[in-house]
Structure 1
Amino acid sequence: MQRNGGGVGASGQPWVLRRVRLTWLSFMLFFILVFFPLIAHYYLTTIDEAGGPDKRIFGPRPGGELCEAKHVQDLCRIRESVSEELLQLEAKRQELNGEIARLNLRIEACKRSIDSAKQDLLQLKNVISQTEHSYKELMAQNQPKLSLPVRLLPDKDDPGLPPPKSARACRLRSCFDYARCPLTSGFPVYVYDTGSYSWGEYIDPLVKQAFVASVKSNIYITDNPSIACLYVVLVGELQEFPSSPLPSPAELEKQLKALPYWRSDGHNHLLVHLSRKSLTQNFLYNVSTGRAAMAQSTFLEQQYREGFDLVVSPLVHALSEPNFLEVPPQVPVKRKYLFTFQGERVESLRSSLQESPPQSFEEEMEGDPPADYDDRIIGTLKAVQDSHLDQVLVEFTCKNPQPSLATEWALCGEREDRLEVLKASTFALVISPGDGQLVASAGCGMRLFEALEVGAIPVVLGDHSRLPYHQHIRWSEAAILVPKARITELHFLLRSLSDNDLLAMRRQGRFLWETYFSTSENVLNTILASIRTSIQVPAAPIREEPAQEIPHKAGKLAGTDANLADNGDLDLGPVETEPPYASPRFLRNFTYTAADTYRTWNRAPGPFHLFPHTPLDPVLPSEAKFLGSGTGFRPIGGGTGGSGKEFQAALGGNVPREQFTVVMLTYEREEVLMNSLERLNGLPYLNKVVVVWNSPKPPSDDLLWPDIGLPIVVVRTEKNSLNNRFLPWDAVETEAILSIDDDAHLRHDEIMFGFRVWREARDRIVGFPGRFHAWDVNHQSWLYNSNYSCELSMVLTGAAFFHKYYAYLYSYVMPQAIRDMVDEYINCEDIAMNFLVSHITRKPPIKVTSRWTFRCPGCPQALSHDDSHFHERHKCINFFVKVYGYMPLLYTQFRVDSVLFKTRLPHDKTKCFKFI
């Protein structure tokens, strides 16, 4: 049998050959139908482009003779139909693509509109939520808002208070009319013109001139006596002329009662007696002053009314101001002499004290004093000097003693000679008068003033003496107060004090001298502040710098900076964007005056200003925010805590919610500025941006500012000064300020971390680039250093948070010489701010994150790249040290990173900050 694969067909041909022939015919037919028309069209097209077909070879074009062949007519007709359909399809495709592009544009516009509407809706929902939350907090407080009381002035002929039993029984409660001084009055003070009363012509011309100049600059002075709370009369020091003797006590009393607003008893009057000498008159001793208080440097016990009259210091610098650069430095601690005293005892001429008041102050001081320790003091101090255990200088006789009161120790020689001795003294002895009834004397006041001026720590012997403003100033922080009975232990006591305590006392003494005694303006301010504090009226609010805005156009949408780090699946703030929220202001007005008197009088800057808020406000305990005092608090997780997601949703911390203001200084770098502003887009807790335009040339008219969803306030400055960075602009409505250069490049998570850290250290500078002050051993001076170091003492304010409180102090309280040097060098303002904060707090700044610089890549070169920049900063540091009298900067050896950074966490927990 044969296999089917090798069989023969019906025609007698093998089956394989027949199959091959059919395959070949099929291929030829396919070639004719498909490829021949294409080849023919190609050749025809080519020949046509070359000049026309050669009809001898090819004949007519398709559609003509070529297409007359039957086997290609159908193919040509199909080709033409297909080509036409393809052209139609291509046109249709292009039309559809255009329609798709237009629809995509409409879709994108709709998406943006929807996103904007969603943001507006979220903003409105958040505003409603915050309003409801605030309303609930207000209702939970159960403390209604109080409006200011209406001020009612008494009639001019008001009989006033019932008279006290005697003039010596006067106290504020019995002799001062509080009705004229409501808490909200602002403490208006009317000062009598010295030409309006007859004895005004006898007043020391220098004292009078200094007093008048100080009155003109005082913010409390009013020329409307009908609204005045206090009436001030300058009564002395008087000068006696041969042709015109001083008025007698009776005449003086009569003239006082003739003052137009005396109102029969002189209530709410203050008689100010200022003297430039160690021997001062006490011509008011036998004058009945009624209910008028007295402010002078000399008082007898029978005359002084505790809590009513004021002990003031002598007016040493009447018209001239002290040169703070000539004040000796506070270090080294120990000086040549352990202590010094130069004086000569003025023997008393009085035989015995009288039971009834004498006719004059001089008669009162006549006679012998009662038993005193003066002889024992002389013997003990001489023994210490002869022992040579320490080098001391004591002299009990003078070649040129100054006139002094009886029983008092007269000053020796001229003021310049005394200051030279005190500059070499660690301690300066101030021996109280031998007569215990002389509770205050100008001689002791002069010794105290000169000791504080040059940094010699006063040692006051005698516990019966009243030091200036002792009701408010805690003198034990600046002076050693020792009873005379302990004179034998004085040497041991002075040797036992540590250097730390001595420098703290010397520094406090310098503060008291500069703030209260150094100038005539300070003397008047202190007198008025003492009265105002005693009647519990708050100080006048410190002024703010009005922001003169430069109009600008915001038309450029801020994009997302590609350099900003991805924070993973965490937001940096609440899901709903917070509306602008200004920090509460002046909530502790009366607390400062009524309950915080010690701090306001004994810590810089003193009691002369009322601040809208300070970084020193007390902090509630943790449970208070959940038990009755939760106003404004936003605890993490509602109080349960949490990791990254819960942490980012609320500020938490120990103080209520708040926002911060970016203050950016710029000078004619518009492109750099615009880029920096764009990088702030979407930054949580940002209240607004204040751009300090430091150039006299305004911004370009065609400059489009980025729209970051928050106000950008462009402030015009009077001159190009780096001090403008720290002006307390009224446009800044938050306690927290982020001071940032226009070329600083910080990520959002870094800024947020710095803000959270600052909230826990509100009294310090918290920022990113750290620097330190280094000691130059060869030149015995300070250097500014920016090298990498394990210690730092400064944080540059080109990228740092600080409290607005320090902007007030920098601009209005810090010595003017420092601001002048900043303007001279156009440099060092950041060093000056670090000096100020460390001087006030005695704490170093806080550096956050591992950053050592903050400049943006590719920005134009800054001034800090110039070599002279560092030389100027060396000079600045040493100059500032001279102004302060010591080096305020303190070292720190740590920086702050976020909790849980580099910590291995379970899968259901997240970091606080991913990269910090």
Structure 2
Amino acid sequence: MQRNGGGGVAGGQPWVLRRIRLTWLSFMLFFILVFFPLIATYYLTTIDEAVGPDKRLFGPRPGGELCEAKHVQDLCRIRESVSEELLQLEAKRQELNGEIARLNLRIEACKRSIDSAKQDLLQLKNVISQTEHSYKELMAQNQPKLSLPVRLLPDKDDPPLPPPKSPRACRLRSCFDYARCPLTSGFPVYVYDRGAYAWAERIDPLVRQAFEAAVKTNIYVTADPSVACLYLVLVGELQENASPPPPPPAELEKQLKALPYWRADGRNHLLLHLSRQSVTQNFLYNVSTGRAAVAQATFLERQYREGFDLVVSPLVHALSEPNFLEIPPQVPVKRKYLFTFQGERLESLRSSLQEAPPQSFEEEIERDPPADYDDRIIGTLKAVADSRLDQVLVEFTCKAPRASLPTEWALCGERDERLGVLKVSTFALVIVPGDGQLVASAGCGMRLFEALEAGAIPVVLGDHSQAAVHQHIRWSEAAIVVPKPRITELHFLLRSLSDSDLLNMRRQGRFLWEAYFSTAESVLSTVLASVRTSLQVPAAPIREEHAREIPHKAGKLAGTDANLADNGDLDLGPVETEPPYASPRFLRNFTYTASDVYRAWNRAPGPFHLFPHTPLDPVLPSEAKFLGSGTGFRPIGGGTGGSGKEFQAALGGNVPREQFTVVMLTYEREEVLMNSLERLNGLPYLNKVVVVWNSPKPPSDDLLWPDIGLPIVVVHTEKNSLNNRFLPWDAVETEAILSIDDDAHLRHDEIMFGFRVWREARDRIVGFPGRFHAWDLNHQSWLYNSNYSCELSMVLTGAAFFHKYYAYLYSYVMPMAIRDMVDEYINCEDIAMNFLVSHITRKPPIKVTSRWTFRCPGCPQALSHDDSHFHERHKCINFFVKVYGYMPLLYTQFRVDSVLFKTRLPHDKTKCFKFI
């Protein structure tokens, strides 16, 4: 041991001695800086008080005589020295405090930088992890990368194909050149100008004008014949008593072969004959059209080529479009008459078509005389009318019969008169021609489509006649087809149908008429869609609305509102934040035309558009996720399941992983909007936020938008319209859309719960505030009701999930009259969306959680607080019912809450959602 020179303690380590010395020096310095000035000040003050005001040592004194006294000079010097030292120490202390504050700011900035870098690193790790996972999934599929087929263009110098063995031998496989229509061709259609063939000028002017107007708006029509898949020729209908008359068959064949792109045999040509009358000339009957298909309303059996030619509807509305508001409502189901029929019968088919060779045609009739049940039909229907069991209207003679083919029942009176009778008829009888050689006739087609237009359910007596586009349309869903021998059982059959079945058939008939036969545009689109579907070429993709983005500055760091996002110890999403992930698009391009033809044609909106995805896509069985088809699936617990912890780490469910997009409509409420955007910070599975800026005035230049870690796209709109909420913006890259008002307050766990519920009911609106439609007994009309209720029929889209598919339908398919009323009232867009979805699905929406309304502290008073708001919504509901023809909304007493919410769980388990 050694003793320290400073008298320290011997023994121990040198660092201990140094620490002792430092501690002692620190204590002394602390005493000098703190306690010594205080003691000195106290001592001097005590002396001053002791000597009195006249003999103070350091206080003011005339002439400073006391300070000049020799015995206190030392004390004066000490006081001055201490005061100077105190001032220096105070300045040093303030300097050190400022330095400490600056260092603290730098520390906080470094902490934020570290946190941001950690988040970026976590994001990059997750991106790498997701990429590796996707790569493994792709490799597990063991599928080669396919490229699109080579686009084959026609060659004008191609040698002609050998002619078919007989005029009836043509089918698509033998008479259509598929090389001109690759699956990826887009189905371009070239329409011949009327100057290309001589008889075009004699076509009915109304038919020609309606056809040309429809051609201008059709997306498939091309002006380049070299890339055309189909060549369309309007061949009729010719004007009545046209001069000169139609050319003879030989001359007509010559003119057809002279068409510029006929290519010797007419391959890939469609000869379209549109008629406004119940009788058509059918001047193509005895004409050899080669490999060109024929589309018209009247066909004889020896003329019609099944699967190649096309039966079309008469062109009832040539130039004037029907007024959908004048169409009678679909309810009540039972109308004044159980069934009606008005017509007059002609006896023979001998002179029906003057172009037919008289001898061979007569011989054919003699070999196969028609089976005529018309006499039995007349007797049975008269007996039903005489029995008066039900009120029916049957008339077999006409005051002013319309022209018709022999053996076909002539129409009676004018069109308006016939519609007047049909509007009060539950069923409308359509008696097909007595001769089975008439495969289709314009007269029967006219009766059929007038019945659909008026909401009378067609009853077709005779099963040998073909309706329009029968290859794709299932007419049995909209009409009752009864063989003529069952005429005696017809009355019993019609009375046995339930109201729900009748209304379902009436709805389907209304859809078929509106979608396929109501206007010249729909008739042309139907003809082209039928050919395209038969060729298995997908429809053109439906257009999206281009989002013109408004530049904005993001600099405000978004916080988290504890009241809205706090979920205790419960996480709401995966541990690692997912990078933005767009929903896969157009995965079923060829399915719609190859295997899903029935649904495409017989369910709204029809086969005219190709959608990126729909809420009706099929779902894989559960084991497929683990046996070869697990791409994109994220099962809970890897398939073992689990409670809260495992539940929050993966989406699970029956469909692959996905995210959702928030679409927020706003109008000149910048502070409210910024607060709402901040509340989205940290929300799991959020892809991006699309802010629909509905004001003509752009956002303030100095406005700082919150940084929520995800893109915020601010979309400029053409005009202030609530319909902009549902435009299918191209910026929305997910199937799921959360439509939310800028003043709606939702907790994160509520949003997550709604998203998970929507994933199991993708075809429905899933949201929070519920409303219902109430019946006004006094006025026999509908009312909008927002009171608390145990039954509801609407979920407001101010806070609701829905599929982007419905945004396309709302903007491009739903009747324009509804969107016009939304613009007129600046109201009711949420009701319109509920009407649309319930009309398409025939299902009510789904309400989640107990939330019924929203409170926005500090927000300006909403329009919904105005009494006129509710009066307008009453009017909207009744107007929408008139447009649809019935009330599509359905009641539900169903509400969804979280599984395990009130369930007692073991201590090692957690609930799926703590507060829901």
- TM-score (structure 2 length as normaliser): 0.92
Contact 1:209–1:319 (CA<8 Å) still a contact in 2? Answer: yes
Q: Structure 1 residues 367 and 702, CA, compared in 2 at 3 Å: closer, same or farther?
A: same
Q: Matches of 1:546 and 1:2 in 2, distance apart?
A: 88
Higher mean displacement: 144-153 or 895-904? 144-153
Q: RMSD between aligned alpha carbons?
A: 8.0
- CA shift digits 1:841-899 (9 cap, x unpaired): 00000111110112422211111111100000000000000000000000010211111
Instruction: Report the CA distance between 1:755 and its aligned residue.
Output: 0.7
Higher mean displacement: 288-297 or 853-862? 853-862
Instruction: Report the CA distance between 1:906 and its aligned residue.
Output: 1.0
Contact 1:352–1:367 (CA<8 Å) still a contact in 2? Answer: no
Instruction: Report the CA distance between 1:233 and its aligned residue.
Output: 0.4
- CA shift digits 1:91-117 (9 cap, x unpaired): 554444333323222221111111111
Contact 1:351–1:369 (CA<8 Å) still a contact in 2? Answer: no
Contact 1:352–1:368 (CA<8 Å) still a contact in 2? Answer: no
Higher mean displacement: 266-275 or 74-83? 74-83
Higher mean displacement: 511-520 or 857-866? 857-866
Q: Matches of 1:19 and 1:123 in 2, distance apart?
A: 47
Instruction: Report the CA distance between 1:804 and its aligned residue.
Output: 0.5
Is 1:257 aligned with 2:257? Answer: yes
Q: Matches of 2:813 and 2:15 in 1, distance apart?
A: 118
Instruction: Report the CA distance between 1:15 and its aligned residue.
Output: 52
Contact 2:542–2:611 (CA<8 Å) still a contact in 1? Answer: yes
Instruction: Report the CA distance between 1:37 and its aligned residue.
Output: 14
Q: Matches of 1:644 and 1:20 in 2, distance apart?
A: 56
| Alignment correspondent of 1:772 | 772
Q: Which runs of 5+ in 2 are unaligned?
A: none
2:407 is paired with a residue whose SS is: coil
Q: Matches of 1:88 and 1:421 in 2, distance apart?
A: 109
1:663 is paired with a residue whose SS is: strand
* Identical columns (%): 92
Instruction: Report the CA distance between 1:202 and its aligned residue.
Output: 1.1
Contact 2:285–2:355 (CA<8 Å) still a contact in 1? Answer: no
Q: Structure 1 residues 372 and 300, CA, compared in 2 at 3 Å: closer, same or farther?
A: same
Contact 1:357–1:364 (CA<8 Å) still a contact in 2? Answer: no
Instruction: Report the CA distance between 1:158 and its aligned residue.
Output: 1.4
Higher mean displacement: 620-629 or 163-172? 163-172
Q: Structure 1 residues 346 and 105, CA, compared in 2 at 3 Å: closer, same or farther?
A: same
Q: Matches of 1:22 and 1:212 in 2, distance apart?
A: 102
- CA shift digits 1:4-39 (9 cap, x unpaired): 999999999999999999999999999999999999
Contact 1:455–1:510 (CA<8 Å) still a contact in 2? Answer: yes
Instruction: Report the CA distance between 1:707 and its aligned residue.
Output: 1.1
- CA shift digits 1:254-301 (9 cap, x unpaired): 101111111111010000000001111111000000110000000000
Q: Matches of 1:43 and 1:66 in 2, distance apart?
A: 17
Instruction: Report the CA distance between 1:370 and its aligned residue.
Output: 2.4
Q: Matches of 2:825 and 2:143 in 1, distance apart?
A: 53
Q: Matches of 1:411 and 1:870 in 2, distance apart?
A: 48
Q: Matches of 1:89 and 1:122 in 2, distance apart?
A: 48
Q: Matches of 1:355 and 1:263 in 2, distance apart?
A: 26
| Alignment correspondent of 2:888 | 888
1:412 is paired with a residue whose SS is: coil
| Alignment correspondent of 1:360 | 360
Q: Structure 1 residues 817 and 10, CA, compared in 2 at 3 Å: closer, same or farther?
A: closer
- CA shift digits 1:308-337 (9 cap, x unpaired): 010111000000000000000000010111
Contact 1:754–1:801 (CA<8 Å) still a contact in 2? Answer: yes
Q: Structure 1 residues 829 and 365, CA, compared in 2 at 3 Å: closer, same or farther?
A: farther
Higher mean displacement: 61-70 or 19-28? 19-28
Instruction: Report the CA distance between 1:60 and its aligned residue.
Output: 11
- CA shift digits 1:776-833 (9 cap, x unpaired): 0000000000000000000000111100000000000000000000000000000000
Contact 1:574–1:648 (CA<8 Å) still a contact in 2? Answer: yes
Q: Matches of 1:776 and 1:270 in 2, distance apart?
A: 54
Contact 1:350–1:368 (CA<8 Å) still a contact in 2? Answer: no
- CA shift digits 1:224-247 (9 cap, x unpaired): 111100000000011254652221
Instruction: Report the CA distance between 1:566 and its aligned residue.
Output: 1.6
2:504 is paired with a residue whose SS is: helix
- CA shift digits 1:333-374 (9 cap, x unpaired): 101111111111111053999999647989988999523211
Q: Matches of 1:38 and 1:507 in 2, distance apart?
A: 98
Q: Which runs of 5+ in 1 are unaligned?
A: none
Q: Matches of 2:232 and 2:12 in 1, distance apart?
A: 149
Contact 1:634–1:651 (CA<8 Å) still a contact in 2? Answer: yes
Q: Structure 1 residues 270 and 80, CA, compared in 2 at 3 Å: closer, same or farther?
A: same
Contact 1:770–1:796 (CA<8 Å) still a contact in 2? Answer: yes
- TM-score (structure 1 length as normaliser): 0.92
- CA shift digits 1:372-407 (9 cap, x unpaired): 211111111111111111111111111111110011
Q: Matches of 2:8 and 2:543 in 1, distance apart?
A: 121
Instruction: Report the CA distance between 1:43 and its aligned residue.
Output: 11
| Alignment correspondent of 2:856 | 856
Q: Structure 1 residues 255 and 97, CA, compared in 2 at 3 Å: closer, same or farther?
A: same
Contact 2:556–2:704 (CA<8 Å) still a contact in 1? Answer: yes
Contact 1:33–1:72 (CA<8 Å) still a contact in 2? Answer: no
2:234 is paired with a residue whose SS is: strand
Instruction: Report the CA distance between 1:48 and its aligned residue.
Output: 8.2
Contact 2:765–2:802 (CA<8 Å) still a contact in 1? Answer: yes
Q: Structure 1 residues 483 and 76, CA, compared in 2 at 3 Å: closer, same or farther?
A: same
Q: Matches of 1:608 and 1:2 in 2, distance apart?
A: 103
- CA shift digits 1:532-568 (9 cap, x unpaired): 0000000000000111111111111111224314211
Higher mean displacement: 70-79 or 127-136? 70-79
2:358 is paired with a residue whose SS is: coil
Contact 1:351–1:366 (CA<8 Å) still a contact in 2? Answer: no
Q: Matches of 1:554 and 1:890 in 2, distance apart?
A: 44
Higher mean displacement: 696-705 or 285-294? 696-705
Higher mean displacement: 275-284 or 347-356? 347-356
Contact 2:48–2:58 (CA<8 Å) still a contact in 1? Answer: no
| Alignment correspondent of 1:589 | 589
Q: Structure 1 residues 206 and 568, CA, compared in 2 at 3 Å: closer, same or farther?
A: same
| Alignment correspondent of 2:188 | 188
1:366 is paired with a residue whose SS is: helix
Higher mean displacement: 856-865 or 37-46? 37-46
Q: Matches of 1:8 and 1:818 in 2, distance apart?
A: 97
Q: Structure 1 residues 369 and 400, CA, compared in 2 at 3 Å: closer, same or farther?
A: farther
- CA shift digits 1:636-691 (9 cap, x unpaired): 11111111111111111110001111111111111111111111111111111111
Contact 1:768–1:854 (CA<8 Å) still a contact in 2? Answer: no
Q: Matches of 2:429 and 2:877 in 1, distance apart?
A: 34
Instruction: Report the CA distance between 1:570 and its aligned residue.
Output: 2.2
Higher mean displacement: 482-491 or 871-880? 482-491
Instruction: Report the CA distance between 1:212 and its aligned residue.
Output: 0.4
Q: Matches of 1:289 and 1:432 in 2, distance apart?
A: 27
Larger radius of gyration, structure 1 or 2? Answer: 1
Contact 1:369–1:407 (CA<8 Å) still a contact in 2? Answer: no
Higher mean displacement: 75-84 or 905-914? 75-84
- CA shift digits 1:142-191 (9 cap, x unpaired): 12232211112232121254432112011101101100000000000000
Higher mean displacement: 251-260 or 532-541? 251-260
Q: Matches of 1:21 and 1:617 in 2, distance apart?
A: 82
Contact 1:900–1:912 (CA<8 Å) still a contact in 2? Answer: yes
Contact 1:366–1:406 (CA<8 Å) still a contact in 2? Answer: no
Contact 2:580–2:687 (CA<8 Å) still a contact in 1? Answer: yes
Q: Matches of 1:407 and 1:759 in 2, distance apart?
A: 57
Instruction: Report the CA distance between 1:731 and its aligned residue.
Output: 0.7
Matched length: 916
Higher mean displacement: 93-102 or 792-801? 93-102
Q: Matches of 1:143 and 1:12 in 2, distance apart?
A: 76
Q: Structure 1 residues 35 and 586, CA, compared in 2 at 3 Å: closer, same or farther?
A: closer
2:684 is paired with a residue whose SS is: coil
Q: How does 1:589-738 map to 2 (within 5 A)?
A: 589-738=589-738
Contact 2:190–2:232 (CA<8 Å) still a contact in 1? Answer: yes
| Alignment correspondent of 1:486 | 486
Higher mean displacement: 354-363 or 664-673? 354-363
Q: Structure 1 residues 853 and 450, CA, compared in 2 at 3 Å: closer, same or farther?
A: same
Q: Structure 1 residues 421 and 82, CA, compared in 2 at 3 Å: closer, same or farther?
A: same
1:354 is paired with a residue whose SS is: coil
2:892 is paired with a residue whose SS is: coil
Q: Structure 1 residues 364 and 817, CA, compared in 2 at 3 Å: closer, same or farther?
A: farther
Higher mean displacement: 4-13 or 190-199? 4-13
Q: Structure 1 residues 714 and 72, CA, compared in 2 at 3 Å: closer, same or farther?
A: same
| Alignment correspondent of 1:53 | 53
Instruction: Report the CA distance between 1:57 and its aligned residue.
Output: 12
